[in-house]
Amino acid sequence: MRIIISGGGTGGHIYPAIAIANELKAIDPTIEILFVGAEGKMEMEKVPKAGYKIVGLPVVGIKRELTLENLAFPVKLGRSFMRAQQIIRDFKPNVAVGVGGYASGPLLLAASLKGIPTLIQEQNSYAGLTNKLLSRWAKTICVAYPGMDKFFPADKIITTGNPVRKDIQFAEQQREAGLPYFGLEPGRRTLLVIGGSQGARTLNETMEQGLSRFIEAGIQVVWQTGPQFIERARKAAADAGSPLVKPYDFIYEMDKAYGVAEVVVSRAGALSVSELCLVGKPAILVPFPAATDDHQTKNAMSLVEHNAALLIADRAARTELITATLALIDNPAQQQELSKNMLKLAKPDAGRQIAEAVLNLAEL
């Protein structure tokens, strides 16, 4: 059996795609899987690291502002569609899966026109443009949030939750291994700060200004900055003169990162929210305000409404986030309550459910 998985652009698309692939392989190790991504995007690096083959399309997104790059969009889209048709002819997939992002558009359209059944997986509470367009041809649509029938045909929807990597489910078991991995001291309280695969300026600048307060409180900080801010973060840590601050541009071993943390500060991307529910870590969420239809706030509110997380608006983060984080770290009872409620919202079988839906399509 041959399955194509397409999409990417951000970790929020890539890691669910890899999780689906891993579940398919767990069910049937003989399945052949090919990823299709966008040239120059992070999936071209991350997918091979996960052990899968990937080919790239020259597709790009449309910029919201008027730019010369937009003039190239229709040309690159046309080339990508022709390349996608060739990939379909060569690989002959039984099913094509789209996880959102530029590359899934031309690939799933090419598959649909060839009569190959397609499945799309929407991670967010507000559907992405590519998935909304593709839903017309998709046989099955897997979603993580209720109420998605305002974007997709109700009879195609399966509510599965978001698939995450298997290792995340066992994060607590990685605490002992995580301490030396990050160079942390046993017995000290630890904060994990994550701003998505590209980092988050608000979180980074707030941490930069507030590092001294964590150091004075004796709190260790594992700080994922994204590639653009890493040098500033390293300088801030060096200037603070303390070994308690550990900046990283990207953290591959997220199971260890969650394992060592008592409290997490994070953006509210769909993947981050799903991972936090699975590990049950007390969290303060700072939604990215420019996300389409403010969907990160909607993601965060799905936890806040169940007393499973705290929320601080991006505009208030620079004045409120450090104080709120220190207060939560100093409140074990509140941590326990948030953790208990978060675990109730976890969907640990999402990847398996989606993989089974893919295989059901292959049998049609």
Is the domain of 82 the same as that of 98?
yes
- Do 355 and 282 fall into the same domain? no
Decide: helix, strand or coil at residue 59: coil
Pair (178, 294) in one structural domain:
yes
* Whether residues 12 and 147 fall in one domain: yes
Instruction: Say how far apart CA 171 and CA 279 lie, in whole Å.
Output: 7
Q: Same structural domain for residues 91 and 114? A: yes
Do 199 and 96 lie in one domain? The reply is no
CB contact at 8 A, 161 and 239: no
Query: According to the model, what pLDDT value does residue 196 have?
Result: 77
Locus of tokens 């060592």: 260
Q: Are both 145 and 221 inside the same structural domain? A: no
Q: Is 197 annotated as a binding residue?
A: yes
24 is an annotated ligand-binding site residue: no
* Domain of residue 131, CATH code: 3.40.50.2000
Consult the annotation and say whether 275 binds a ligand. yes
Q: Is 183 annotated as a binding residue?
A: no
Same domain? 250 vs 357: no
Does the annotation list 272 as a binding residue?
yes
Mean pLDDT by 10 residues, the chain (364 residues): 90 87 96 93 90 88 60 73 95 96 89 96 87 93 92 96 88 93 95 88 96 96 95 94 94 94 95 94 95 87 95 97 98 98 94 96 84
Rounded to an integer, what distance in angstroms lies between the CA atom of residue 103 and that of residue 34? Answer: 13
Per-residue pLDDT, 234: 95
Same domain, 89 and 182: no
Residue 174 shares a structural domain with residue 314: yes
pLDDT score, position 237? 94
Q: Which amino acid is at 216?
A: E
Question: What local confidence, expressed as pLDDT, does residue 10 receive?
Answer: 74
Helices (H) and strands (E) in the chain, counts: 14, 13
At 216-230, the pLDDT tens digits run: 999 999 999 999 999
- 93 Cβ contact list (under 8 Å, min separation 6): 2, 3, 4, 34, 111, 116
Is 124 labeled as ligand-binding?
A: yes
274 is in an annotated binding site: yes
Same domain? For 138 and 124 the reply is yes
What predicted TM-score, i.e. pTM, was given to this entire model? 0.85
Report whether 251 belongs to an annotated binding site.
yes
Specify the number of domains making up the chain. 2
Residues 8 and 146 occupy one common structural domain: yes
Is 11 annotated to bind a ligand? Reply is: yes
Q: Is 206 annotated as a binding residue?
A: no
User: What is the structure's pLDDT at 260?
Assistant: 97
271 assigned binding-site residue: yes
How many CB atoms lie under 10 A from the CB of residue 315? Answer: 11
309-332 pLDDT per residue, tens: 999 999 999 999 999 999 999 999
Residue 298's domain comprises 166-344
